[in-house]
Structure 1
Amino acid sequence: MSLGCHKTKQEFPSRITINAQYVGRERCKPCHENISAQYIGSDHDLAMDFATDATVLGDFNNASFNHLGVRSKFYKRNGRYFVFTEGDGGVFQEFVIAYTFGARPLQQYLVEFPDGRVQTLPLCWDARPKEQGGQRWFHIYGNERILPDDMLYWTKISQNWNYMCAECHSTNLKKNYDATTGRYNTTWSEIDVSCEACHGPGSSHVDWAESEARGEDTQRYTDMGLLIRLKDDHDEAVTWVYDKKLATYKPGTTQRRQKEIEMCARCHSRRGVISEEYVHGKPLLDTHYPHVLEENLYYPDGQIRGEVYEYGSFLQSRMYRSGIVCTDCHDAHSTRRRKEGNELCCSCHQAEKYDSREHHFHKPNSAGSHCVECHMPARTYMVVDQRRDHSFRVPRPDLSKKLGVPNTCNDCHTDKSPEWSLGYLQKWYGQTKKERHYGEIFWAARRGIPGTDVELIRLVEDKQLSPMVRATAISLLYTVPDKESAPALGKMLQDPDPLIRAALVTSLDILPRNDRLPFLLPVLQDPVRLVRTLAARSLAAVSSDFLTKAALWQREAVVREYEETQVLNADYPATLINLGNLYLERGDFDRAIASYKKAIEIEPAFIPAYINLADVYRLRNLDEEGRIILHNALEVAPESAPVHHALGLLMIRAGEYKGALHHLRKTTMLAPENVQYSYVYGIALNSLGMSEQAVSVLRRTLNRSPYDRDLLVSLATIHRDRGEPEKALQYAVRLTKNCPGNSSYQQLEQQLRALAAHQRDKPDGRN
């Protein structure tokens, strides 16, 4: 029986229209003239276009722009648009502008190369009015100079339209990357985000409409021939219930248009693509891999930090849990808000209560009286593009004090402290007792604070919480590893939300491979591609001796499917690392080496490929070849801590201890926040007879990471071996206090207590 196969009509709709084809917006227009008029000029309409006089907003009238010594020129010739700027290798040359990209508040420009690559220029046009600082050229990285050998340089893969941007700016896009030739043949049905990007291929709907117009029987069509019907019958009749206590209207059901949210999330989320075979109405995770609330993308409390778009925020919100969907606030066709200002919020939240000074305590029409300023903080991306957090949170200055996160009070009152803001909130709204925020638990987990695993499990098991919060809690369990929690997690693999199931599959990597089998074998039959392929990846290296013939066949079939999800993005070096790691774990050294070498070929600045390649050579007892690879990496990135770390370990294996210590010490200087580097350096010092220096390094690191188990164990054992059981015992006691259920730590403490007592009993206090 497959785990996690909870098929409901809403999650896995049965509305399948056979052989539907893309027909283009012009076929839609005759019946939907009003909607078509709303669409023209919308953000979706302007998402991408050919560079023409009608679409280009920037100044190409022999304009010039200087950015940190790089002077670029913009001009027209024979009806075409050009830029003369720095290209590959820092060589200045002329480039043709092939496409415009977006329109407000900025417009980007795309350059097409002979191999089918389309690259995004870093030079953008600020389309805002002049009085707002616009109508100027600017560089997408502000005052940062991106050198030609940097992965972020505009001709590199990180600024490649085919891989990074294309799917969300055009309709029915197929990347069509040929890994053998390294060429793209990217295609689309329509250049921008048109009707069928959201509604699905429309040929069957057109057939239905024409059949109905002729008076023919249309019963053979499901849902009017639509592949996905975004306006469900129950939405037309949805009852909005007034909550008297909250003075707010809510949908009578929370089960509204989940497929609409996931359809929007296809582009309005931070995610990766695992399949181009997108079927409208199927689960998002069948084709995409959304990011959870990762540390570099979100603040600990879930506020937006990096460029993450709206999905990850919205899934945290009370709005989402109440059944609110995207189109309750946004008009899907004009892409504008349904109402402006507080009027939009007061569609549901009673104006007399919420749009009043008694609620917001600010002057009418001031910034503090606007709902979004307090509940939807804005962050600026791409220099000029302000985007609002969609988690609709209450300001929490107390979390700013605890976690160092922003809060909307101090976003405005920049000259005041979080304590000042908190004082006013308590004065206005009273001293409210708050449960521990999930952000506090995430913050503690990332620092390895003892007991956090229990709190994470509590979050995972709380089905009243957002699936995004629960999935993040699952992903953080690796920071506080406790194999005892694995069975509890395994039982949750039947959760109806595929985001939870996918996170759970990955979390079980804390178990030895064979111990994962009972949990993950059934998941190989999960109906959602991401979930089952992650399970196959986790089980890929399990020996066939532990599998039945049927299980082996199933595992191999889904491993091949996992490979397909990676090959789709074989133009990106990190994906080639994934493939190489898969092959390496399965003992296929040649294919692993080929994958890592291909990653280096595609992007010479991608350092993990060098390190993994050197590691394969280590496994094959070819460390000297690995040494060459690592020195090549240092030529590309001389200040790369991971390379120095790998080289230091290689030199220890070769008996070159002085050189090894040089590289290992350098890692601690280049990446002082990395506990592992300092730990390895300390252990290396101790193993070479320099225990005093080792203790000094490890103690300094422990001050930064006071709960790290490896540091505590190493300090305890080093002091023990130095004949200092009393000092060793201090660290062992901390270990057992932090990890009371760990028998090996308890044995270490008992041993050290006995040694310390024995030493105290000696007349001279010596052993």
Structure 2
Amino acid sequence: MLLSRALIIILFALLWPSTISAQATPGRSAENAGYVPTDTCAGCHQSEAAAWSGSDHAWAMRPATDEWVLGAFDDTTFSDGAVSARFFKREGQYWVATEDDSGKPGEFRIAYTFGYFPLQQYLVEFSGGRLQALTIAWDTRTGDEGGQRWFSLYPGQKFAPDDALHWTGRYQNWNAMCADCHSTFLKMNYDAQNDTFATTWQEQNVGCQGCHGPGRDHVDWAENQAEPANEGKGHGNYGLKVDFDAMSSDQVVETCAYCHSRRQALKDGQHADESYLDKALPATLRPDLYHPDGQIDGEVYVYGSFAQSKMSAAGVTCLDCHDAHTAEVLVEGNGLCLQCHNAQPPERFPSLQSGDYASQDHHHHPMGSEGAQCVNCHMPEKTYMVVDPRRDHSFRVPRPDLTLSTGSPNACNGCHDDKTPEWAVEAIDRWYDWPNQPPHFAQALGAFRQAQDDAFLRLAGLIRDSQAPAIARATAAEHLANFGSRAGSAVRSGLLSDEPLVQAYAANSTAQLPEDRRLGALGPSLSEDQPRAVRDQALRALAGVELSAFPEHERAHVESLREDYERRLHELATLPGTRLNLATYLQRAGRPSEAMAHYREALSMDPAFTPARVNLASLASEQGQIETAIEVLEEGVARVDIPEADRGHLGYLLALALVEAGRVPEALSRFEQASSLNPGNPRVAYNHGLVLARVGRLESAETVLSEGLSRHPEDPGLLNAMVFVTLQQGRMRETLDYARRLQRVAPGDPQVRSLIRDLERRLN
């Protein structure tokens, strides 16, 4: 469950009155909801239960007893710089002595283990029904592998007690961060008013019913040989809620996807038999999670990678490679891939090309070497949580050419780190006679990340490319929101896609369009036939639209959807990101006081959560509360736990707020600070220069703008400002030079053309 602050998924949430009472200790739900006791399945399915018993799923969460605790609690002290802890036993229980949530020494009883290989974490009970995960973990690998030791999940870092990454903080909270995938049918039962939990589960770990769904009907069939309640649904009418034999390949993958993906939960408590997009919205190929070509960067749990792959498009499922009960691969080594990638591919996958992929003619490395292993070229790995290497499941062909154009890594240079990407490109071209590699969605996503001039056109092309993976097209839909109403046509193309994931992200991006265009475009997205993910995103985009604007026959339906949406947001209001997005929703809906309360709540959970601080300050300014905006921004700029670039952005906004408040000398000082912290933002130099010009300091303005242009020579704002400043000083020939540069950057601007003609006439 280790996450950096930058990688925290932004979810949706709502602070709303609740009648849930706090439960001191998480435990099994009193309502069985169709589930049966954990041990029931083993009576008939002994071999499957035995295989499962040693799996990651079986070890997902266990009581802290001698049977399950793997760490050395033998009065051992671990230190990593300023972070230390002593692990010991007392009266048969496991304990840790470490810093508490006020920064003072404390002793805490270990309640549960969490995972087991290659590391095991430990959970401590706190008031309000919370469980918190220690950020010092036990390395369960063998001693020869470097294991059998305590280690910090954040090596060399120490977090203050009020930091959300402190072990007692919000981002180490089991209930909100990781519980729903380490237990079966877990419900957080969060009380947003009191910030407490009454969390329950049906199975403490990921048991049989975590994947097969509630087992009551199946047990009734087995005991009575009676027709089950879901007659006709399953493969053999055995009362199975999830019958893998009767499912499509997409359904099989999506059964695993909820827990094996970065996602936004749409409800509290998820069943295996629910459609994936009815309970979650998967994250796109965002810069904090993926490289431009879709390779893993952040901790993304496989599904987002696999969804990009040709394997997924061909109908391959998780169970073609992994045993359903042990979760281990079916065959070790290259034999796993050669099940299909051989001279006679299975009939089930007609799109696979036949070939001798195990030969040196294919991989061009000595037989038996690391370079001859399929996974090292097609599934490069990255290590997370210090000791946990995970492989990219996009099964990509190495593309060093994309390293040159987008900065994405490639498997060739991952091993040959003493060589250049150009060397790798030449080798690929020579080996495979492939000098002109096919287009890739990385080119569009990379253009957006690099703010290239053609980024919009590339994204518009990607969202319409039916051959591109849906997750890449959804990413284009998400990014197009940055282009405002200009993106209207492209976003509408996304709404017409036959991929619900693309529709969902396109729906949210329509928020930038005028109200009448949104209403016309999003009507079909609110249909009950749509997955909940699509409906929810449409509701967000339509948040500010009065109910009376909808056709009369649709109003009751829309009102019902909105009520349900806010109820679910309330259930999930557990993290800074959920509060942020709910506040944004409320702000769109014209409820500014509620929105500001939620932004403040997000900051109380994590004072370093910059998006909430930015939105709170902006909304306060819009509401005429400029001194409040200044105070909020000053607090952020002063925090040393916020990255410099973010502090620079906050300082820039603070400078603008000070200008608005008439405090220009202070604003100029803040502009200088923002420029030093975040020199990559040309808007800082642009506004700094204009404010200097406004107070008559034209030479200083020119210096600031020139420095900005040295870093951003084609920024139209800076060029425009230089046109103004030089013209104010009567230096028309220099003005003409800047105007011509501006025309090359923005050739379609008629005002620039007119200015150039006027200057040329006056100078001649």
Q: Tell me the TM-score normalized by structure 2.
A: 0.88
Q: 1:238 maps to which residue?
A: none
Q: 1:570 to 1:359 in 2, by over 3 A?
A: same
Q: 1:489 maps to which residue?
A: 491
Mapping 1:393-472, distance limit 5 Å: 393-472=396-475
Indicate which of 687, 690, 693 corresponds to 1:683: 690
- CA distance in 1 between counterparts of 2:363 and 2:520 reads 54
Residues 186 and 269, structure 2, Cα contact 8 Å, conserved in 1: no
Mapping 1:733-748, distance limit 5 Å: 733=740, 737=744, 742=748, 745=749, 747-748=750-751
Indicate which of 338, 341, 347 corresponds to 2:330: 338
Mapping 1:508-523, distance limit 5 Å: 508-523=510-525
Q: 1:259 to 1:217 in 2, by over 3 A?
A: closer
Q: For residue 38 of structure 1, report the CA deviation from its aligned partner.
A: 0.8
Mapping 1:2-17, distance limit 5 Å: none
Mapping 1:37-436, distance limit 5 Å: 37-212=50-225, 220=231, 222-223=233-234, 224-226=237-239, 228-233=241-246, 256-350=248-342, 353-436=356-439
Q: 1:42 to 1:655 in 2, by over 3 A?
A: same
Q: 1:551 to 1:694 in 2, by over 3 A?
A: farther
- CA distance in 2 between counterparts of 1:452 and 1:121 reads 43
Amino acid of the structure 1 residue aligned with 2:504: A
- CA distance in 1 between counterparts of 2:217 and 2:504 reads 34
Q: 1:754 maps to which residue?
A: 757
Q: 1:402 to 1:28 in 2, by over 3 A?
A: same
Q: 1:330 to 1:712 in 2, by over 3 A?
A: farther
Structure 1 residue matching 2:78: 3-state secondary structure: strand
Residues 65 and 73, structure 1, Cα contact 8 Å, conserved in 2: yes
- CA distance in 2 between counterparts of 1:576 and 1:482 reads 24
Task: Note the residue ranges of structure 1 that are not aligned, 5 or more in a row.
Answer: 1-18, 236-255, 762-767
- CA distance in 2 between counterparts of 1:684 and 1:217 reads 75
Amino acid of the structure 1 residue aligned with 2:659: I
- CA distance in 2 between counterparts of 1:531 and 1:312 reads 18
Amino acid of the structure 2 residue aligned with 1:135: Q
Deviations 1:183-216 (A, max 9, x none): 111111111111111111111111222232x7x7
Structure 2 residue matching 1:96: 3-state secondary structure: strand
Amino acid of the structure 1 residue aligned with 2:78: F
- CA distance in 1 between counterparts of 2:301 and 2:188 reads 22
Q: 1:679 to 1:279 in 2, by over 3 A?
A: farther
Structure 2 residue matching 1:421: 3-state secondary structure: helix
Q: For residue 99 of structure 1, report the CA deviation from its aligned partner.
A: 0.8
- CA distance in 2 between counterparts of 1:26 and 1:61 reads 33
* RMSD (CA atoms): 2.6
Residues 395 and 409, structure 1, Cα contact 8 Å, conserved in 2: yes
Amino acid of the structure 2 residue aligned with 1:88: D
Q: For residue 410 of structure 1, report the CA deviation from its aligned partner.
A: 1.5
Deviations 1:279-326 (A, max 9, x none): 544432222121111112111111111111101111111111111111
Q: 1:15 maps to which residue?
A: none
- CA distance in 2 between counterparts of 1:405 and 1:486 reads 30
Structure 1 residue matching 2:264: 3-state secondary structure: strand
Mapping 1:636-675, distance limit 5 Å: 636-637=639-640, 640-675=647-682
Indicate which of 498, 502, 505 corresponds to 1:500: 502
**2:25 corresponds to 1:33:** no
- CA distance in 2 between counterparts of 1:279 and 1:158 reads 24
- CA distance in 1 between counterparts of 2:446 and 2:699 reads 33
- CA distance in 2 between counterparts of 1:648 and 1:348 reads 61
Identify the range of structure 1 (459-468 vs 349-358) with the bigger mean alpha-carbon deviation.
Answer: 349-358
Q: 1:539 to 1:739 in 2, by over 3 A?
A: farther
Q: For residue 690 of structure 1, report the CA deviation from its aligned partner.
A: 3.1
Q: For residue 330 of structure 1, report the CA deviation from its aligned partner.
A: 0.7
Higher relative contact order (CA 8 A, sep 6+): 2
Deviations 1:688-708 (A, max 9, x none): 333443344344444544554
Structure 2 residue matching 1:647: 3-state secondary structure: helix
Residues 48 and 192, structure 1, Cα contact 8 Å, conserved in 2: yes
Q: For residue 388 of structure 1, report the CA deviation from its aligned partner.
A: 0.2
Residues 541 and 585, structure 1, Cα contact 8 Å, conserved in 2: yes
Structure 2 residue matching 1:73: 3-state secondary structure: strand
Q: For residue 610 of structure 1, report the CA deviation from its aligned partner.
A: 4.2
Indicate which of 559, 578, 582 corresponds to 1:579: 582
Identify the range of structure 1 (633-642 vs 416-425) with the bigger mean alpha-carbon deviation.
Answer: 633-642
- CA distance in 2 between counterparts of 1:515 and 1:686 reads 40
- CA distance in 1 between counterparts of 2:86 and 2:570 reads 39
Mapping 1:529-608, distance limit 5 Å: 529-543=532-546, 546-608=549-611
- CA distance in 2 between counterparts of 1:502 and 1:441 reads 20
Identify the range of structure 1 (149-158 vs 302-311) with the bigger mean alpha-carbon deviation.
Answer: 149-158
Q: Tell me the TM-score normalized by structure 1.
A: 0.87
Structure 2 residue matching 1:751: 3-state secondary structure: helix
Amino acid of the structure 2 residue aligned with 1:164: M
Deviations 1:569-595 (A, max 9, x none): 222122222233333333333322322
Structure 2 residue matching 1:462: 3-state secondary structure: coil
Q: For residue 731 of structure 1, report the CA deviation from its aligned partner.
A: 5.2
Residues 180 and 269, structure 2, Cα contact 8 Å, conserved in 1: no
Q: For residue 513 of structure 1, report the CA deviation from its aligned partner.
A: 3.5
- CA distance in 2 between counterparts of 1:611 and 1:434 reads 42
Residues 511 and 542, structure 2, Cα contact 8 Å, conserved in 1: no
Q: 1:310 to 1:702 in 2, by over 3 A?
A: farther
Residues 403 and 409, structure 2, Cα contact 8 Å, conserved in 1: yes
- CA distance in 2 between counterparts of 1:680 and 1:298 reads 32
Q: 1:570 to 1:470 in 2, by over 3 A?
A: same
Q: 2:26 maps to which residue?
A: none
Residues 566 and 578, structure 1, Cα contact 8 Å, conserved in 2: no
Structure 2 residue matching 1:756: 3-state secondary structure: helix
Q: 1:632 to 1:413 in 2, by over 3 A?
A: closer
Amino acid of the structure 1 residue aligned with 2:658: M
Deviations 1:237-268 (A, max 9, x none): xxxxxxxxxxxxxxxxxxx4211211211011
Q: 1:118 to 1:409 in 2, by over 3 A?
A: same
Q: For residue 711 of structure 1, report the CA deviation from its aligned partner.
A: 3.7
Identify the range of structure 1 (442-451 vs 112-121) with the bigger mean alpha-carbon deviation.
Answer: 442-451
- Aligned length in residues: 715
Structure 2 residue matching 1:98: 3-state secondary structure: strand
Residues 211 and 217, structure 1, Cα contact 8 Å, conserved in 2: no
Task: Note the residue ranges of structure 2 that are not aligned, 5 or more in a row.
Answer: 1-31, 344-354
- CA distance in 1 between counterparts of 2:619 and 2:456 reads 34
Q: For residue 733 of structure 1, report the CA deviation from its aligned partner.
A: 4.9
- CA distance in 2 between counterparts of 1:675 and 1:302 reads 28
Amino acid of the structure 2 residue aligned with 1:183: T
